[in-house]
Structure 1
Amino acid sequence: MTAVPAGGLLPVAHRSRRSAGAVVAAGFLGLVVLAAVFAPLLAPYPPDAVDLSSSLVGTGAEHPLGTDASGQDLLSRVLYGTRTSLIAPVLLLAFASVLGVALGTLAAWRGGWVDTLVSRATDVMYAFPGLLFVVLIIAVFGAGTTTSVLGLGLAFAPTIAKYTRSVALSERAKPYIDAYRVQGMGGARICVRHLVPNLARSIAGYLVVLFGEALMSLATLSYLGFGAQPPSSDWGLMVQEGQSAIVQGALLPALVPGTAIAAVVVAFNVVGVRAADRLGSRR
């Protein structure tokens, strides 16, 4: 028999705790997705139903999470707001991924002055605050969810481009790339059919990590009045609308959507880090 070092058990215990945390976070996110899908069935009231006689009512049987200043049920608004708060980041990252993956792959494949040009362009975008860039776009094209998604998509694209370039450079150096070149396959065909698909696992894991940041950025814009507009049930807008009620001693209108944002962002970060580790190791 061989003795097992006492310190050797720590990494195993640490990994098991991380796995358990990722499972709990994934289960919570599953419930959030179900809440978004079945919001019309789960919500006790329409999200835009105004009842001034029930303004700023606390928790109770009729309103489990209370109401806001307009008497709108907070549970119903949060359930319906789940849809906007989840779909908008997905669209944002999809738009940013198309641009970022294309630029990152082009820079890694071509190298030379193309790589230098793309790298300098992404560096300039990094030097410019992303939120300020989005606010400038909104100032030109107007406030709204669509403008926020497109503006943040442009702001997130350089981050994805840099990550794609780093993983594409290591993938490009593998022997199968040279084998396809010897067979006479063109560079564009190799990238589309072989290089990018082999990067998909790593990029997907990275996008899960970015999802929480995208959700928080969109909620911030809505809170500042640049994103979703009334009568939307967007969580960031709900926090902004509930802020004035804090002076009257009513914390729930701002606390409920704020807690929802924090919980979902943390859960996505936990699941994203775990997914990135697993997908990266498989690659």
Structure 2
Amino acid sequence: MTTLTLTTPAGSRPRRPLSVTVAGALLALVVLAALCAPLLAPYAPDTIDLSASLVGTGGDHLLGTDSSGQDLLSRALYGARSSLVAPVALLAVAAVLGVTLGVLAAWRGGWVDTLVSRLTDVMYAFPGLLFTVLIIAVFGAGMTTSVLALGLAFTPTIAKYTRSLALAETRKPYVDAYRVQGMGGARICVLHLVPNLGRAILGYLVVLFGEALMSLATLSYLGFGAQPPSSDWGLMVQEGQAAVVQGALLPALVPGTAIALVVVSFNVVGVWAADRLGKQDRR
């Protein structure tokens, strides 16, 4: 009996799932809208018109206005800038610290590995949001403080992930080859070890982006992050909450929907990208 085996032709790429395509297109539109906000926004984000307070959708205001008469479309477009840039800065801080600690623990081993592991375990014992609020209580509210505080809160997660990757990478033959050539450990890690881990770490950071955005929006909602007159999405939800009691849902619904769509889209794209990059590293 003859068995037929279907194989994928060499050089062909697996078809991208429709959900990933839709999520990627949505993210591209959000980024483009943020970059072109001055051109697309019909009003300045801080323009107040009390005579147009809580106006619904219409020709003058496509998404309505908030209690101060500010155009919600304009605020959402400008708010996309801080809502997207801040998580990138947050993950950059966490990546620098986390990758450094993870690679150091895997490379040195022994008491260094034990110390880093215990340190990350201690940080895990505190809820990330509580840890962040404690730092903000000391240094004051604001987006910069929130980014740095959450960067520290995300560091243990990235450190543990990097350590697990680096432990496997340090056992590969090329590491011993560079050691035999007399290359120092710091140089091996910076020039070869970390770059080889780069794709896997990048995929993991994309997965974490949605969580970082949601965490920053939560802090802004609680009053610890972005401060008025910012158009940050989390702050917009907090400011629009009072209007819900008056029956006006748009001031909270518009930024809340934007946060939900971007977070879900990044999760979809991030999981797919991490899976793809992981398969490439295993080849």
Normalization by structure 1: what TM-score? Answer: 0.94
More helix by share: 1
Q: Match of 1:160, as an amino acid?
A: I
Of 239, 244, 247, the match for 2:245: 247
Give yes or no for the alignment of 1:96 onto 2:63: no
**Per-residue CA distance 1:190-219 (angstroms, 9 max, x = gap):** 000000000000000000000000000000
Match of 1:31 in 2: 29
**TM-fit CA distance, 1:247:** 0.5
Match of 1:10 in 2: none
In structure 1, how many angstroms separate the alpha carbons of the residues matched to 2:3 and 2:164? Answer: 42
In structure 1, how many angstroms separate the alpha carbons of the residues matched to 2:121 and 2:153? Answer: 12
Matched-pair identity in %? 79
Ranges in structure 2 where 5+ consecutive residues have no aligned partner:
7-13
**Per-residue CA distance 1:59-80 (angstroms, 9 max, x = gap):** 0111010000000000000000
Give yes or no for the alignment of 1:153 onto 2:151: yes
Match of 1:226 in 2: 224
**Per-residue CA distance 1:153-197 (angstroms, 9 max, x = gap):** 000011100000000111111111111111111111100000000
**TM-fit CA distance, 1:232:** 0.2
Match of 1:114 in 2: 112
Tell me the matched-pair count.
274
Of 135, 142, 160, the match for 1:162: 160
**Per-residue CA distance 1:2-58 (angstroms, 9 max, x = gap):** 4689xxxxxxxxx85x62211111111010110010000000000000000000000
Of 65, 80, 87, the match for 2:63: 65
**TM-fit CA distance, 1:274:** 0.6
In structure 2, how many angstroms separate the alpha carbons of the residues matched to 1:164 and 1:215? Answer: 22
Match of 2:77 in 1: 79
Of 90, 100, 103, the match for 1:105: 103
**Per-residue CA distance 1:128-167 (angstroms, 9 max, x = gap):** 1111111111111110000000000000011100000000
Match of 2:196 in 1: 198
Ranges in structure 1 where 5+ consecutive residues have no aligned partner:
6-14
**Per-residue CA distance 1:204-237 (angstroms, 9 max, x = gap):** 0000000000000000000000000000000000
Q: What secondary structure is seen at the aligned counterpart in 1 of 2:17?
A: helix
Of 256, 261, 279, the match for 1:281: 279
Q: Match of 2:135, as an amino acid?
A: I
Normalization by structure 2: what TM-score? Answer: 0.94
In structure 1, how many angstroms separate the alpha carbons of the residues matched to 2:77 and 2:273? Answer: 26
Instruction: Give the 4+ runs in structure 1 shifted more than 2 A.
Output: 1-5
In structure 1, how many angstroms separate the alpha carbons of the residues matched to 2:256 and 2:176? Answer: 52
Match of 2:178 in 1: 180
Q: Match of 1:68, as an amino acid?
A: D
Q: What secondary structure is seen at the aligned counterpart in 2 of 1:136?
A: helix
Match of 1:189 in 2: 187
Match of 1:12 in 2: none
